[in-house]
Structure 1
Amino acid sequence: MFFPGAEPSAAVSAVLDEVRRGGRASLLLEGVRGAGKTTLLEAAAERARGLGLDVVRLPVPTEERDAGRRGRRGTDVEAFDPPAGKPLRDGRLVVLADDLHRMDTAALHCLSHLLTRHDHGSVAVVATAAHGDYGRDPSAFNDAVARFRRRAELRPLTRAAVAETATRVLGQRCRRGFAEECLRHTGGNPLYLRLLLEELRIRGVAPVDGSVGDLTSAAVPAIADVLPVRGPGFEPEAVAVVNAVALLQPNAAVDLVAQLVRLDDLWVADTLDRLLRQRFLTRRGAGYELDPPVVRAAVLARMSADARDEGHTRAAELLYAQGADAEVVAAHLLRIQRRGMACWACRVLRECAVNAIARGDGEEADRYLQHALEQCTGQCRADILRELGKLALGARPDAAPGYLSEALWHCASPRERAEIRGALANSLYLSGDVGAATRVLQDGVAEAEPSDVHGAAALREELRLFTTLAGRAESVAPASGDNSAVAGEPGPGGSSAGRGALVNAALHRYWRGHDRGESARLAERAIEHGPQDHVATLAVPLLLLARAGENDAALRACRRTVDEARARGAVLVEASALAVRAEIAYRAGELDECRQDAVAALTTLLARHPAGHPPELGVALDALTGALLEAGEGAEAQRWLDRAGMNGRIPDRMAFHGLLAQRGRLRIELGDREAGMADLRECGRRMRSGPHNPTAARWRSELALAVARAGGHAEAVELAETELEQARKWGAPEEIGRALRASAAVVSGAEREARLAEAVEVLAASSARVAWAHALCDLGVVLRELGRWKESRSRLRAALALAERCGAAVLAGRATRELVTSGARLRRVTEIGVEALTAAEIRVAVMAAEGRSNRQIAEELYVSRRTVETHLSRVYQKLDIPGRFALDSAVLAGLVQEDAAEGPAALGTG
């Protein structure tokens, strides 16, 4: 039994008690279809008989009764149909009248007469009526309703009642979430709930969270059988109106429904108002919706698949003709299953995909394009495949070659074929098949040259870039007769050729180790000039800009690229930019930021390329290994190498040279000097076979230090001097400073002091804080050995402060030990107070003091909220304050300015 609530049940009890005491009473129970009116009426009959009362039923006409719900009227209830004016028999009588809206005029008049007669004994009339349905004779219906003394409304079931019912029907205690899902789907309607639960019981579904959603469609055929539009009094056209609302909602406005069913607007409006009064529909703005959700599913389930396709097709056409938003039209197009979509429909889906990409929803864009591909049989197919391939290029590179290869097969336009070949080559390069990528470009150049000079130029530049990055030394030189590449001008090839020429020209200068300024200028132009579908080489100009010493410009470009990638859902593009940003942070001594960006990049790259080695993998792992070594976490660095599969042979490609050198350094630090030196020598062999720039991998300086410790002084001097010569030729302050420090380690006396002093001076003018701290520490040791204690201690203290700010634990430990050796009394200013804050902690603290929330700080700095919380906790500890409200933004901001403007002078350069 399904009981609709305490209030109506109490009203029935009150009426029966009144009759038992000899009085007269009447009660009208009102509710929507399936609310439990008949159930409550039958319960009233059972209770009345239990109280010794006579029970009779005022019937509806035979044809109404036969066409109504599958009857559950009691066979032991006496029919009551007295002629007007005939006195009732003596005794206490309960008259039941179910569904007043179904009664004919004569029965309604009889009921009205009964409700007003007072010439007989105790009589109670209990009747039911559906909301908003006035029957065939509204006047007689309203007259009868007005004579009832009491009226009670049957309301939807509560969540607790739904849970109790589900437990009883399914035989298991249901979860709270399950009850809430049932309530949402059925609106608390007892009849709909019973049909849904019976279907779930038959299917053996357990009452746990999430088990209702997909099964509501399974229950709807039974629900469709009891919908009021299938009963008498509803014209067949009304069913068409309901079907149209189910198809169109939430855009089921009167005019659109009328056009869809091809009926008069006024008649449709009247029908919708009638259904609204019956609470079969609800209003949503200017439109109508079926309510609750399971009713809409019921209506759609009763329609044939062809009828649904036809309805959605016509709805899409009408909305498109009215100029509705593409997403509104696409909502119908996505539900069409038959093939043969018109070109305008394909355009709508492609427009929706573009909008989804702009919102950063790559999965939604893919859904639109996939449906267009499934349905399209016309000329749009090549365009859809190309767009799917480009979308996959930034997120699922393994899927991109299939789409782009098929797009190439369908496409006849020479210009578009050249564009598709460029994207296809990028996807193959990312998947690790450099040979196939090269062949695609070579074939494209041969194909395009006769008719598409610009396309051929673009493919030729991409081919040169791929072969360069693959490690072929001969490809870095400008192509014969191709002066535009050397000049760095875009040339005749449009945007793609122009970008390729710029990147190749910048890369040529970089590998030759000269024209640092021109290399940076060309790289910056390539970043501004380059289209976003060149995913495989997107990081190259970013890296060139950073390695030219233009860290600020490179960092801005990385942030812009990350923002654009996130907006488009291009996770691989984002990972590429994060990898470069990790290298920039490592060079600047921002070790925490380096670790965060590198880990984020590696997590994506390893997930998307489980068996491949994209170039950015080498860049990110190189930076992460270096940062972990500085932090004294060599074992963690080793674990990351294991995870990336880089403990065996490292790919012989330019992007991995730095990682090979870094692994050599790691092995030496972990005690395996021979293996470490072997890695450094192998890195040198690979780099000597072609052009060289010391910023790509500092193998000479690291090998010089290892060889010197092993007693190979002459070789160490040669290595260090060559590195210094090349660094001076390139001209980046960071590289010169690092090379000076390495060369100082293999000389002695005044020369050693001079080189270290120069290294400190050069590095002080750069952003390389950890390198600067190393040089300060080395200089402090030399000064101590020369007996210049005061100068020594000032350099060592400066090195310690810098190291602790950067999180360089190994260097901080060395500086501390050297200070103790020099006889200094350690001042623990580096452990408490504003001076103890790292650069990352200062930034977070300043932003928090200025009123930003943790979420806003995390978004602006591109870190997790957990990282922000960790930094703030350390700030509170070091400043000995209770929380955010005690932060002094002025003091913290002043410290940031001091670090930027006066830090080098304050710490001393030697």
Structure 2
Amino acid sequence: MLDRANDSGLPSLLVGRTSELTVLTSHAEAACAGRSGLVVLSGPAGIGKTSLLRAFLDSDTCRKMTVLHGTCGQVVAGSGYGGVRALFGPLGLTADDAHDSPLLQGSARRALPALAPRPGGEEPPSPATAYPVLHGLYWLAVNLMTQGPLVLVLDDAHWCDERSLRWIDFLLRRADHLPLLVVLAQRTEAEPVAPAALADIVAQPRSSAIRLGPLTDADVAELARQIFPLPVAPSFVERVAAVCGGNPLTVTRLLHELRAKGARPDDTGIREIAEVGQYVVAQSVHALFERQPGWVRDVATAIAVLGEEDPEHIGALAAVPAARVEEAVALLRDAEMVAPDRPDLAHDVVRSAVLDAAGADALAGLRGRAAQLLSDIGRPAEEVANQVLLVPGTPQPWMRWVLREAAAQATNRGAPEAAARYLRRVLEAEPDSVAAHVQLAGALAETHPVEAIGLLKDALDLTADLRAKAPIAVQLAMTCLTVQQSPAAVRTLGGVLDALETELGPDPEPRDRELVTLVRSALLISGCDEKATLTTVRERFAQLAEPAGDTPAQRQLLAMMTVLSAMEGTSAERTVRQARRALHPSGVALGNWSLLFSAFTLSLADEVEDAMEALDRSLRYGQENAAVWSYVLTLSTRALMLHGLGAMPDALADAQTAVEITSHERWGSHMTMPQIALATVLIDRGEPERAEELLGQVTRPNLDGFVMEYHWYLMARARARWALGDGRTALRLLLDCGSSLEETGFANPCFIPWWAEAAWIYAAEKRADEARDVVDHGTELARRWGTPRALGLGALARGMTTRGETGVGLLTEAVAHLSASPARAEHARAEFMLGTALLDAGDSRGAREHLRASADLAQSCGALALAKAARRRLVAAGGRMREITGSPVDLLTGTERKVATLAAAGAGNREIAQSLFVTVRTVETHLTSVYRKLGLTQRAELASVLRAQSVPHPQAPAWVSAARGRG
């Protein structure tokens, strides 16, 4: 494998790997041209992966790139972001650099927990979730790529921790058109630390594989000629190749051993080959130890355990003075066991041979002493724990403390898999420890929630104290939400709450009162998720007094009680009062649930500005903390609310952005709200086919059991079928929606006004008599709720299904109510129906007035389907109006509109990408499309064009000015 050998006997120039080197170089050149790629280099130990990588990194192509090269080791295999630190460690980035380093600008600062401990050993005030750190590392890599093409090379990737591999997967899924090459080298015979994560990376469509096979006889002959000054016989070469299996490391070592023994490379030397054999590395290690003093063996073993370490620490573990350590290292280097450029063993094959020579019992003791040594010299707990993980048997008490500390550090890095790895050993040693169960469940909640639920149930069984049970039950409930097991959570929380209320009485101490409130709020959140549990929690909390809202738990409970109050549909005033109290500033930080629930209920009561302000706060929280799941949920919720307000372009922008973000996430297929929101908007934009296609992609299990998503889904499907001319299916879906809502007990007429939609279809199909029960039901709900939107929908439903002057009068009433509401699209529909009724009654002039108003209002809302229908009726009534074509801005997709608006407001491409959780390339693509559609040539022209078209900022949608004008 060599043209010549270096001092260590390892390859310096490659032999037999020309084609592999060419493939690597071609991938690097493609990366330089902006075509990202992944190369997985595999083969058994000693096959030459590391040597090939060195030759590749020395190539002219790599000299033009930023190169980050790291090696994973067995000792750090379980640490959080160990592989990331191996790659980025040479950059020396710390929290002190956060404000000065261009690499840590913007979202890249979120990468710091993965890179290094905080100054002074401090940890962040709260644990980091995985996504913000992944997001930060992605932007750190992007910042590096602004300096030039980037190549990330990770050797021994089979020992890479799961979180680092998840980040590489995260990066590659967003790497289109980035100047990036990732190279992973792994042993084929080694079991990966994180096989699933590695398999996900290898399955990437941009992945290429290079599997290194054995050297040919010709390659072995070339190696022999470099080592022996004499002619090399073919029979000698064949025997060496056969004994070594073509393994370059073994071949090189064997040839050096044979030359040292004085063997000749001909038929006479063949006898020596059998004596040295294929286990030449292990034999040479044993032979060396037999020839040298015992302290040389002890130093070699200490290096094998600790890796590259200071001589005094190697000496402390080996019980050898530091001076002797340096002497031993020199001897080992002369024997080609230590690398020439660092104080570590030359190859992992050598390390394995040294550790095998120590024996299992001695090695176990040495691992334990190594962990103690690292702890005594103040190394981070994760580093100590990685040694503890390799110690067989039950960890000692001090080791368990270290493992817990390491788990906390891993959690603060956003590396839950590493935390779980440490805590499993704790639980093995303490099977009855409640704390161990709870801590491990917390680490697994994000990655293995079903296992976490089992651990929490065991913890509850092990806990007798009610005050200790309560927070465990709350943790269980929040974990159950992620895997659709809310009924189990409700049963558990209900039992704990019953016991707490019995034991603590009606007037507990403040601390206990907050605990009870926390359990109540968790019970409400869990119970309102699925229809199976909704009635139970509603009955339980029907008579509960409203909390003051002075603590986080009280605010969360108040927000949830507001949802129940709103869904009863009996008092809009009470709902608004509760929601405003839940949101009112009091020095108490609001969680995302409180913001979302309060905004939702305020929107039902037509309190638009307060609702949108709460959603904006939720979105800002998501951006600042890279809480992408919450961000997408909030964005989808806002899209549905904007649709209800008749702000179609803004709703489209939010919904399409939410869909685009989830398309890059592994959990995206389990989320339904973005697709439902986008489909809902597309129907009014005149694109029901696309809406149907999106709704067909919704595959969430047990969807019909959920309280919110299911009814939005049914409404969207019904409206799509009606727009496509299938009234029969549309009516069936709407009636199913009504039956399901009745099952839940929800009676708010503005949540899902299925009854008004059904009345529209009955009226259009001349089946008004069949609509009576549906309309009576809806109008009674509307009367009880009493908001302008509800009253307008009630009058509209009755007017559409009533003939003659009475019907016209009801439609006139609907126009009056809806014009006073924020529901502009519904107002446009009422104008359309009134104009149609007047036309049928022979009042062409009155018909033209209302049909023109409908067309104008619908067009301004972006409800193009209704606008075109109103224009057609207007023309039939003898009126005149130009074709509804829309402005050039209407040609923009929702995401293009959002990107263009942010750009017009002065945001840079990188800032836009970070705020929307998309790539810079995605932003560039959208802007290019915007310029083409709007006929622009430069960014500076965006603001004037968008302003002329009255396009609002995404954070200040079109409904704001209208609402303020009414106020």
Q: By the TM > 0.5 criterion, same fold?
A: yes
Letter in structure 2 aligned against 1:859: Q
Q: Kindly tell me: are residues 761 and 299 of structure 1, through their superposed partners in 2, closer, same or farther at Cα, counting changes over 3 Å?
A: farther
Mapped to 2, the partners of 1:602 and 1:734 lie a distance apart of: 35
> In 2, are the aligned partners of 1:422 and 1:441 still within 8 Å (CA)?
yes
Mapped to 1, the partners of 2:479 and 2:282 lie a distance apart of: 50
1:330 is paired with a residue whose SS is helix
Where does structure 2 lack aligned partners over 5 or more consecutive residues? 23-37, 56-185, 191-207, 214-244, 251-277
Please point out which of 608, 619, 637 is paired with 1:580.
637
Mapped to 1, the partners of 2:920 and 2:699 lie a distance apart of: 30
How big is the shift at 1:243?
A: 2.5
How big is the shift at 1:423?
A: 2.9
Letter in structure 2 aligned against 1:319: L
> In 1, are the aligned partners of 2:831 and 2:850 still within 8 Å (CA)?
no
Q: Kindly tell me: are residues 788 and 620 of structure 1, through their superposed partners in 2, closer, same or farther at Cα, counting changes over 3 Å?
A: same
Report whether the alignment pairs 1:830 with 2:685. no
> In 1, are the aligned partners of 2:569 and 2:781 still within 8 Å (CA)?
no
> In 2, are the aligned partners of 1:713 and 1:746 still within 8 Å (CA)?
yes
Q: Kindly tell me: are residues 270 and 559 of structure 1, through their superposed partners in 2, closer, same or farther at Cα, counting changes over 3 Å?
A: farther
How big is the shift at 1:891?
A: 5.2
Greater RCO, 1 or 2 (C-alpha within 8 Å, sep 6+): 2
Report whether the alignment pairs 1:444 with 2:496. yes
Report whether the alignment pairs 1:390 with 2:442. yes
Deviation per CA, 1:640-687: give whole Å up to 9, x if none.
555546899933746534434444434444444344334333433444
Pairs within 5 Å for 1:211-230: 211=211, 222-226=280-284, 230=288
Report whether the alignment pairs 1:335 with 2:335. no
Greater displacement, 273-282 / 384-393: 273-282
Q: Kindly tell me: are residues 224 and 850 of structure 1, through their superposed partners in 2, closer, same or farther at Cα, counting changes over 3 Å?
A: farther
Deviation per CA, 1:458-484: give whole Å up to 9, x if none.
44554455555544547425647642x
Greater displacement, 639-648 / 697-706: 639-648
> In 2, are the aligned partners of 1:316 and 1:329 still within 8 Å (CA)?
yes
How big is the shift at 1:266?
A: 3.1
Letter in structure 1 aligned against 2:684: E
Mapped to 1, the partners of 2:459 and 2:466 lie a distance apart of: 13
1:323 is paired with a residue whose SS is coil
Q: Kindly tell me: are residues 886 and 235 of structure 1, through their superposed partners in 2, closer, same or farther at Cα, counting changes over 3 Å?
A: farther
Could you tell me which residue of structure 2 aligns to residue 236 of structure 1?
294
Could you tell me which residue of structure 2 aligns to residue 518 of structure 1?
577
Report whether the alignment pairs 1:594 with 2:649. no
Mapped to 2, the partners of 1:347 and 1:201 lie a distance apart of: 35
> In 1, are the aligned partners of 2:450 and 2:483 still within 8 Å (CA)?
yes
Report whether the alignment pairs 1:32 with 2:7. yes
Q: Kindly tell me: are residues 330 and 655 of structure 1, through their superposed partners in 2, closer, same or farther at Cα, counting changes over 3 Å?
A: same
How big is the shift at 1:424?
A: 2.9
Where does structure 1 lack aligned partners over 5 or more consecutive residues? 6-30, 36-155, 168-174, 191-198, 610-615
Could you tell me which residue of structure 1 aligns to residue 680 of structure 2?
626
> In 1, are the aligned partners of 2:42 and 2:187 still within 8 Å (CA)?
no
Could you tell me which residue of structure 2 aligns to residue 676 of structure 1?
730
Pairs within 5 Å for 1:658-669: 658-669=712-723
Letter in structure 2 aligned against 1:843: K
Could you tell me which residue of structure 1 aligns to residue 915 of structure 2?
860
Letter in structure 1 aligned against 2:760: L
Q: State the aligned residue count.
A: 714
> In 2, are the aligned partners of 1:783 and 1:789 still within 8 Å (CA)?
yes
> In 2, are the aligned partners of 1:773 and 1:799 still within 8 Å (CA)?
yes
> In 1, are the aligned partners of 2:683 and 2:691 still within 8 Å (CA)?
yes
Could you tell me which residue of structure 2 aligns to residue 318 of structure 1?
373
Report whether the alignment pairs 1:693 with 2:748. yes
Could you tell me which residue of structure 1 aligns to residue 612 of structure 2?
552
How big is the shift at 1:377?
A: 3.1
Mapped to 2, the partners of 1:163 and 1:658 lie a distance apart of: 60
Letter in structure 1 aligned against 2:929: R
Letter in structure 1 aligned against 2:306: L
Please point out which of 376, 386, 404 is paired with 2:429.
376
Mapped to 2, the partners of 1:32 and 1:436 lie a distance apart of: 66
Letter in structure 2 aligned against 1:826: R
Pairs within 5 Å for 1:521-540: 521=580, 523-524=582-583, 540=597
Pairs within 5 Å for 1:346-745: 346-373=400-427, 375-377=428-430, 381-428=433-480, 431-433=483-485, 435-449=487-501, 454=512, 458-459=518-519, 462-463=522-523, 466-467=526-527, 469-471=529-531, 472-473=534-535, 475-476=537-538, 479=541, 482-483=544-545, 487-489=546-548, 499-500=556-557, 502-514=559-571, 515-521=574-580, 523-524=582-583, 540=597, 543-544=600-601, 547-548=604-605, 549=608, 550-559=610-619, 562=622, 577=634, 580-584=637-641, 586-587=643-644, 588-589=647-648, 590-597=651-658, 617=672, 622-638=676-692, 644=698, 650-651=704-705, 653=707, 656-688=710-742, 690-713=745-768, 723=778, 726-727=781-782, 730=785, 742=797, 745=800
Letter in structure 1 aligned against 2:705: P
1:830 is paired with a residue whose SS is coil
2:209 is paired with a residue whose SS is coil
Could you tell me which residue of structure 2 aligns to residue 93 of structure 1?
none
1:158 is paired with a residue whose SS is coil
Report whether the alignment pairs 1:185 with 2:50. yes
> In 2, are the aligned partners of 1:524 and 1:541 still within 8 Å (CA)?
yes
Letter in structure 1 aligned against 2:538: V
Letter in structure 1 aligned against 2:731: M
Mapped to 1, the partners of 2:767 and 2:848 lie a distance apart of: 34
How big is the shift at 1:503?
A: 1.8
Could you tell me which residue of structure 2 aligns to residue 255 of structure 1?
312
Letter in structure 1 aligned against 2:548: E
How big is the shift at 1:844?
A: 1.0
Greater displacement, 813-822 / 643-652: 643-652
2:344 is paired with a residue whose SS is strand
Deviation per CA, 1:481-501: give whole Å up to 9, x if none.
642xxx23369xx86576345
Letter in structure 1 aligned against 2:654: E
Mapped to 2, the partners of 1:302 and 1:802 lie a distance apart of: 81
Deviation per CA, 1:592-611: give whole Å up to 9, x if none.
432453686699898887xx
1:320 is paired with a residue whose SS is helix
> In 2, are the aligned partners of 1:694 and 1:727 still within 8 Å (CA)?
yes
How big is the shift at 1:702?
A: 1.1
> In 1, are the aligned partners of 2:486 and 2:529 still within 8 Å (CA)?
no
Could you tell me which residue of structure 2 aligns to residue 878 of structure 1?
933
Could you tell me which residue of structure 1 aligns to residue 12 of structure 2?
157
How big is the shift at 1:32?
A: 0.9
Letter in structure 1 aligned against 2:393: R
Identity of aligned pairs, percent?
24
Q: Kindly tell me: are residues 451 and 633 of structure 1, through their superposed partners in 2, closer, same or farther at Cα, counting changes over 3 Å?
A: same
Q: Kindly tell me: are residues 530 and 825 of structure 1, through their superposed partners in 2, closer, same or farther at Cα, counting changes over 3 Å?
A: closer
Mapped to 2, the partners of 1:217 and 1:422 lie a distance apart of: 58
> In 2, are the aligned partners of 1:565 and 1:574 still within 8 Å (CA)?
no
Mapped to 1, the partners of 2:946 and 2:461 lie a distance apart of: 61
How big is the shift at 1:876?
A: 1.4
How big is the shift at 1:860?
A: 0.8
How big is the shift at 1:877?
A: 1.9
Mapped to 2, the partners of 1:887 and 1:222 lie a distance apart of: 73
Mapped to 2, the partners of 1:420 and 1:824 lie a distance apart of: 68
Mapped to 1, the partners of 2:336 and 2:307 lie a distance apart of: 16
1:843 is paired with a residue whose SS is helix
Mapped to 2, the partners of 1:792 and 1:259 lie a distance apart of: 92
Deviation per CA, 1:562-593: give whole Å up to 9, x if none.
458856xx96x677556535534544531243
How big is the shift at 1:698?
A: 0.8
Mapped to 1, the partners of 2:903 and 2:374 lie a distance apart of: 49
Report whether the alignment pairs 1:245 with 2:303. yes
Deviation per CA, 1:587-637: give whole Å up to 9, x if none.
45312432453686699898887xxxxxx75x5665354234334444554
> In 1, are the aligned partners of 2:420 and 2:440 still within 8 Å (CA)?
yes
Mapped to 2, the partners of 1:647 and 1:408 lie a distance apart of: 28
How big is the shift at 1:407?
A: 2.4
Greater displacement, 848-857 / 317-326: 848-857
1:399 is paired with a residue whose SS is helix
Letter in structure 2 aligned against 1:333: V
Q: Kindly tell me: are residues 401 and 357 of structure 1, through their superposed partners in 2, closer, same or farther at Cα, counting changes over 3 Å?
A: same
Mapped to 2, the partners of 1:803 and 1:349 lie a distance apart of: 59
